[in-house]
Amino acid sequence: MKSRRFVVIGLGNFGFFAAKSLYEEGNEVLAIDADRGRVQAIGDHCTEAIVLDATDRGSLRALGLESADGVIVSTGAKISTSILVCLYLQELGVKKILAKAQDEDHGKVLRRVGATEVIHPEREMAMRVARGLSRPNVLDFIPLSEEFDLIQIGPPAAFIGRSLAELNLRAKYNVHIIAINELVPENFVLAPPASFVIKDSDVLIMLGKSVDLKRIKELA
């Protein structure tokens, strides 16, 4: 499976763990921060780490970020920095810009200057914890063991045009398709029947051991 290339700008707690997690998933990760200590700390957990002031438009342009699959902007409490960085990334032609916002107004500004997705880590984690406490039977909020994963994945080419019965993934890979999100037309199918035929526009929601799901990912 061809690895994807991501860039993380800003290596505070959120940026550090975002870069580390992307790298551990087998992606190429370029990590950027103006602080040399933070860059040194991430060095073993990314493909490349560089000291750079991301508000320097020329320095950003030299990195060729427009070819990245996504750029995460997590530049800390100074709001003006993240706004400038998102603006420059948008001007450089970066197609997917995920930016961490301090509050709702900050998020609105980030969207206006080019962020394609705004992240509110504290709010989203608080909502997740609250829903987990009040709705403990909902699968999305049940912590899985380190051995198991619940993933969403686009169908490998070999799956397209074939029914779940034909693929027999439980027997061949020991994984379970628990739901399918049909994008064309939009429809969510929970516990799809064996006769369901997979399309290239479907998103498969699969449950299984991490090692078995990795085999599926490698087919994509």
Structural domains in the chain, CATH included, are 5-124 (3.40.50.720), 144-219 (3.30.70.1450)
Question: How do the pLDDT tens digits run along the chain, 220 residues long?
Answer: 567 999 999 999 999 999 999 999 889 999 999 999 999 999 999 999 999 999 999 999 999 999 999 999 999 778 999 999 999 999 999 999 999 998 899 999 999 999 999 998 877 777 766 755 665 444 444 445 557 778 888 899 999 999 999 999 999 999 999 999 898 888 889 999 999 999 999 989 888 888 888 888 888 6
Q: In whole angstroms, how far apart are CA 74 and each of 1, 12, 54, 66, 77?
A: 28, 7, 11, 18, 9
Structure token pair of residue 78: 């100074």
Residue identified by tokens 């991490």 is 210
For position 138, what pLDDT does the model report? 44
Of 183, 162, 188, 176, the C-alpha closest to 216 is 176
For position 165, what pLDDT does the model report? 95
Of 60, 66, 104, the C-alpha closest to 84 is 60
- Cβ neighbours of residue 170 closer than 8 Å, sequence gap 6 or more: 176
Contact 27, 51 (CB under 8 A): no
Element (H, E) at 61: helix 57-62
For position 142, what pLDDT does the model report? 46
Of 1, 55, 65, the C-alpha closest to 31 is 65
For position 134, what pLDDT does the model report? 60
Classify the phi-psi angles of 53: left when phi > 0, otherwise alpha if psi is within -120 to 50, otherwise beta.
beta
Structure token pair of residue 88: 């420059």
Contact 74, 8 (CB under 8 A): yes
Triad 122, 128, 131: Cα angle to 5°: 135
For position 105, what pLDDT does the model report? 93
CA distance 73 to 69: 14
